[in-house]
Every structure is written in structure tokens, then in C-alpha cells.
A and B are shown apart, each in its own frame.
Chain A
């Protein structure tokens, strides 16, 4: 419904501010997200990066008292404008949380859940989606013989990859990850990171992380947030090797935050 954007990237925010009541958690941030890249949002706790991430698929709508100002452009449409079909929008933007949160259903039903909402019927079509989603999340080989088992019987790392597969099941163009590996052991973390690198070939990924090494390993661009403002944004190599801002450098070196 919105006006045409002065496009730099087909997905970007422009002067985005988010309020909880009168408290301004995110202050006028403009950030582009290029196709086939991973953008890492880093910064100390409470800097607004998770709030910012949650606004990208309008998840903050579910929190009473929160308001969002500014624009979020996707393919020239402002999805932050009133009248946006939030349901349709969220099919385009998948999200995965810090703690693995599979539904209390079978592995199969966890994946088939989203497609069923969007009117996909017939066992064959659903079977295909379940298999392809699980393959894309590198979980298929581990669970193909027990698709009818409860998803809660999987290990934490498997559950998290299941949640990624679940997000992929509705074919999103964008994937939002909120500290997706912080509750996992190193081996599972490695698998999830590997997966993120593979998935960026097909879509764009925005990830919030507290793990600097992780941000350096997997992201192409890094944005450093502090107290709701964007302090620095650049290519990841640049931010980690030669940051413009003193604060960014201190945070990355672990001297602060």
C-alpha cells in the first residue's frame, strides 16, 4: 500500500524507531539487507538489536504498548504502513528464536503446520515440502525414519534445525535469526553456522548474536548497535579488522559491553 521507495536495496529499513510506551528502544535506524548475504546485528544487551529484528516481520505487533515509526521497505512496499497484510508478510519472512521451540507435535506435523495454514492440501504435496524443508535444514538424514515421533524427543541442536526447517517450510525470502545458537553446544552450533552459510545462497539472513567469533565467521555485513542507535555498519571484515568507531572496536575486543 505504501509509496515507492528510493531503493538502494530491495529490503531495507529507513529511519525506523520503535517505542515501548514512551521509551524509545530503537532510534531512527536505516539499514539495508542485500540479497544472498548474512547481516549480523551485534551490541551489548538492551541495545535494541532484538527489538529491531522483531520489528522486521512485525512481531512487535504482538506486544501491547509497542509502536513502530519509520519504514521497512520490501520490494518497494512499506510493510510498516498500516493496512499491511501481516499474515501474508510473515510468510515471506521466517523467524527462529534463541531457545528451540518446536510445537508439541510430531516432526512431520511441525513442518507441515505452516503450509497447511496457507491452503496446501494433499499428502503428496505436504510430504514433498516436509522432505525438502528438512533437507535444506540438513536434518533429513537424521530424522527421515522417525517423522511421526514427537519433535520434543530430538536433541536441542536437532530441535533448533527443525525450527529452521519449519521457518523454511513456507518458502520465505528472508530469515530472521535471534541468537539461534546461543542455547546450543559447540557441535550443534557448528552445524547451525554451516547451515546459515548454505542458506544464504537462497535467501537473505539477518542474525542477532552475542558471539563475536560467530558474527565474524558467518556474516557478510555487521551492524553495531548501542543504546538504540546504529553506531557502525560495514562489511564484516572491515568492522572486525579496522572499525571506524572507537566504541565498536572496544566492544569487539571485549573491553566493554
Chain B
């Protein structure tokens, strides 16, 4: 009897309240996420189910004329635009970021880190509208004067994005490099390897899966970025023939058009379909990161 009574002491009640509260928070989070996914999916899929647009036309059609008398919803220009700027941004940013991370951790770990770390944190904190504005007033005029075309376009978008994803890749890569066992490097030095040989043949190959995680996270950010890209890419609904031609991305077309459509119209639903594509791509990026992390554990 005595032991039964002691089960209801104060700390047991506290424990119960704490657990219930946490369970409630987690549950709420799950419900919110699931309902968001459900909402976007049901809206996005209605283009194909009730709107009569075929999946093939949506993904591979190049004609985007949602308000024409016979509307067509070819989203290929936007999908390809998104992938194009994302890949280009990753191609530009990755080598720079990896070099910056190597500089911070391997070349001059003392003042290099002290100098670069705050700079990179600062870069990560700048609002995207500022990036877009700088892109519009610096990069676009530069491209206009240097290359044929208006300056706005894929190249401008990719350049702005590459600066935006620099901090993501750099910080992930720097963490990965710092986590490398010290004596792994020393083993290479002890065999008479130079610093360059050690970096290129031991340090980079060993940390590559972790660095790729950073690259994928950066690509996820680039893929989802709307405002800065929209300001410099030109927003023409075509597949560009060169890097200096105006184009669009999924995000830029959604932010530009969303306000002008009525809920439930097929134009509106087509935008939701694009949002669904964006969301699925984000899931794919997250899945890829998970995969890379698992590979890295071996």
C-alpha cells in the first residue's frame, strides 16, 4: 500500500505533465507537416485529375499560356530553369566553398578561421532581397556590358545564387574537414607527402561524402530561393537559348503569378502543381543528404 502511494509523488506528476506536453508538441508538428503536404498535393494534383492537363504536357510542354482562349500549361521552361540555375550555382560555388573551407581548416587554421568564419556567417544572414538588389545593380549591368543580351537571365540568376549558397557549403565542408582525425593527415605527411598531395589524395577523398552533403544542402537552398532569382532572371516563360537570355524558375513564376489568379482556377492549380514539384524536389534533396550521411558512416 505504501509503495502505491509513493507513485503519485510530485516528481511523478511533473514527469507526466512534461511528457504529455512534449508528446503534444511533436504531434502538433506532425499534423501540421502532414496537412501541408496533403494540401499542396491535393491542390497540385487537381491540375491533372480535374483540370484535364496531361502529366506529359505539364512536365515536357514548352508552351505556357494559362490565360489564352485555349490555355496550355507547359511548365518545362520553369522546371528546366530551376534545375539550370541550381546546377550552375552549385558548379560555381562548390570549388570556391571547398577552397575557403580548406583555407580555414588546413592552410591557416589560426587567423584564416578567425577572419573567414564571421564573414561566412554574415553572408548567410543577409536577406535575399538584398542579394537580388545587388545582383540587379552590379551583376546585371556587368553582364550586359560584357556579354550579348540584356544582362538579366540565367547567368545572373546563377551568379547571385552561387553567392547565396557559398556559406552553406563552406560551413558544412569546414565542419567535415575539422572532424577528420588528426593522425590521418599525419600518416600521409609521415610517408613523405607534401601538403598539396595530402589535401588532394587523403583529406578531400575522405571528406568528400560530407562535403557533398553541403553541396546538396546548398542546391536545396538554391532550388527554393525565389526573390533574389526573380529580381535578376528576367521571368520570360521560355526555355533560354543562351545563358544570357531571360528565363524563369518554378519559384519565380509562382511568386509573380500567385497574386493574379483566383483560387480554384486552372491557372491557380497549375501554380500549385509547380509548388508540388518544388516540394518533392526538396524531399529528394533531403533524401540525398540522408543517403550521403549514411554512406559516410562506413
Residues of A within 8 A of B (CB): 57, 59, 62, 64, 87-91, 93-95, 97, 99, 101, 103-105, 113-114, 117-118, 150, 152, 163, 166-167, 169-170
Contact = CB atoms under 8 A, between A and B. Distances in A.
Contact of A103 (B187, B194, B197, B298): B187
A118 B187 contact: no
Contact of A57 (B110, B183, B190, B197): B190
Interface of B: 109-110, 181, 183-194, 197, 201-202, 205-206, 298
Contact of B191 (A97, A99, A113): A113
B193 A166 contact: no
21 contacts: A57-B190, A59-B186, A59-B189, A62-B186, A64-B109, A87-B192, A89-B192, A90-B190, A91-B191, A91-B192, A97-B187, A99-B183, A103-B188, A103-B202, A104-B205, A114-B192, A114-B193, A117-B194, A163-B187, A167-B191, A170-B191
Contact of A117 (B185, B187, B193, B206): B193
A103 to B, nearest CB: 6
B206 A103 contact: yes
A90 B187 contact: no
Given A94-B190, A163-B187, A167-B191, 12 more contacts: A59-B189, A64-B110, A90-B189, A90-B190, A91-B191, A95-B190, A97-B183, A103-B187, A114-B193, A117-B192, A117-B197, A170-B191
B67 to A, nearest CB: 56
Contacts of B202: 103
Contact of A101 (B187, B192, B298): B187
Contacts of A99: 181, 183
Contacts of B189: 59, 62, 90
A28 B206 CA distance: 39
